Amino acid sequence: MIEARDLTKRFGPKVAVDHLSFTVEPGRVTGFLGPNGAGKSTTMRLVLGLDLPQGGTATINGRRYRDLPSPLRTVGALLEARAVHTGRSAFNHLLFLAQTQGLPRRRVEEVIDLVGLTTVAGKRAGGFSLGMSQRLGIAAALLGDPQVLVLDEPVNGLDPEGILWIRNLMKALAAEGRTVFVSSHLMNEMAVTADHLIVIGRGRLIADCSTQEFIARSAEQSVLVRTPDPDRLAAAITAAGGNVKVADENADPGGPAAGGATALGVTGLPAARIGELAAAASVVLHELTPRVGSLEEAFMELTADSVEYGQPGQPGQPGQPAQPAHPEQPAVTGRAAGPAAAGSAPGGQDR
């Protein structure tokens, strides 16, 4: 279990972590979310005793990290993948870490097999790809068979296969009753991995709840409506206080030209009310589907005020949330979880 109480860290005039309190419980994967520069890495470094806080405390199983008698047997951490001497072999990197805890050489061989680096264990780590470095980092984290894992952006730079591997590993570790605390700025990755979320922005706590609750609470519910008579329906909905947007027309299999229907995205009214309005106006409906917002939307909406870099108000201001036509369309998930997204976000190590 990880506990942060009133944790505060300033770098000069800049407040990186601002009176942050949270608890990471064992037995589940806790996602640590925030835009770049929100203070995720700094918080993890404070928990691990690498950075010293100006205020507050961080404890692991009730002790400060530096007071742990055999830290690697209690906590495994992955901070940055490339934190390996380029001239040292993977085996020797893990060996010197193991020796500090009195762990046997056999354990080094075990974790090397576990992460699939057996064939390159004797090679200089400088020649490793980012994915291989990431696996070496995971091996170091698992070395002491710890009850608590702290992983900073573990899927960064991994190919889809590697992402799946990490995801399953984290779930398996949590299922064994371990505490798994994993940071990410990839919302959809967290949606499929994390059971619980801690969301921060500008060093402050924004949300601390289950993943489902986070989505339900944050993302505005919308209803997808297909009708061949969009103008009359839109007028009826607007009159009843709802908001209507024309969704991507091409998304309709037939398309209007083929005698199909237009897709509308409706917010502000429940699906049942829209059905009643359509019946009252004698408008034919082809489809009436409530949509649950994606984690990505929920996150954008919540952190819109606290984005460190970039333009405020884009893309999701509170009150007028970003509204893709089909939030849970595979394209969205694929973009965020795929290697392209990981590659396009090299600034993941926010500090």
Partner 1 sequence: MTSAAPARPASPPAPPARRAGFGHVLLSEWTKIRSVRSTVWSLILLVVLTLGITILITAITSAQWNKIGAASRTQIRLDPTNGILGAGLQFGQLTIIVLGVLLITSEYSTGVIRASLLAVPRRLPMLAAKGLVFAAITLVLGEIVMFASFFIGAAILHSHVPVSLSSPNVTRAVVGGGLYLAVLGLFALSIGALVRHTAGAITGVIAFVIVAEPLSSLIPGPWGDHIHDYLPTVAGRLVIQTARTSHQVLSAWQGFGVFCLWTAALFVAAAILLMRRDA
Residues that bind partner 1 (CB under 8 A): 45, 48-52, 65-66, 68-75, 77, 79-80, 82-89, 92-93, 95-97, 99-102, 106-107, 110-111, 114-117, 119-120, 131-132, 135, 140, 142, 145, 161, 164-165, 168-169, 171-173, 176
Give 50 or 292: the residue with its C-beta nearer to partner 1: 50
Looking up tokens 């020797």 gives 92
Give 3-state DSSP helix, strand, coil % of the chain, rounded to 5: 40, 25, 35
Q: How far is the CB of 177 from partner 1 (least distance, A)?
A: 12
Structure tokens at 174: 């949590």
Query: Cβ closer to partner 1: 31 or 76?
Result: 76
Q: Residue 48 or residue 277: which is nearer to partner 1 going by CB? A: 48
Half-sphere exposure of 25 (CA within 13 A, CB side): 10
Closer of 90 and 244 to partner 1 (Cβ): 90
- Please name the helix (run of DSSP H) or strand (run of DSSP E) that holds residue 94, with its range, or none: helix 90-100
In whole angstroms, the minimum distance from the beta carbon of 157 to partner 1 comes to 14
Minimum distance between the CB of residue 119 and partner 1, rounded to whole angstroms? 8
Residues near 257 by beta carbon (within 8 Å), at least 6 away in sequence: none
Query: Quick one: 72 or 304, whose CB is closer to partner 1?
Result: 72
The residue (of 27 and 318) whose beta carbon lies closer to partner 1 is 27
Phi, psi of 28 (to 5 degrees): -150, 160
Q: How far is the CB of 319 from partner 1 (least distance, A)?
A: 39
For the beta sheet containing 262-267, the strands, ordered from the edge strand earlier in sequence to the opposite edge, are 243-246, 262-267, 222-227, 287-291
C-alpha distances out from residue 236 to 220, 230, 350, Å: 21, 10, 48
Q: Shortest gap between Cβ of 108 and partner 1 (angstroms)?
A: 11
DSSP string, 264-304: EEEESS-HHHHHHHHHHTT---SEEEEEPPPHHHHHHHHHG
200 touches 39 (CB < 8 A): yes
- We find the least distance from the C-beta atom of residue 101 to partner 1, in angstroms, to be 5
Question: Which residue, 16 or 198, is less far from partner 1 as judged by CB?
Answer: 16
Q: Measured on CA atoms in the order 104, 109, 115, 120, is the torsion positive or negative? A: positive
Here the tokens at position 210 are: 């289950």
Smallest gap from residue 139 Cβ to partner 1 (A): 10
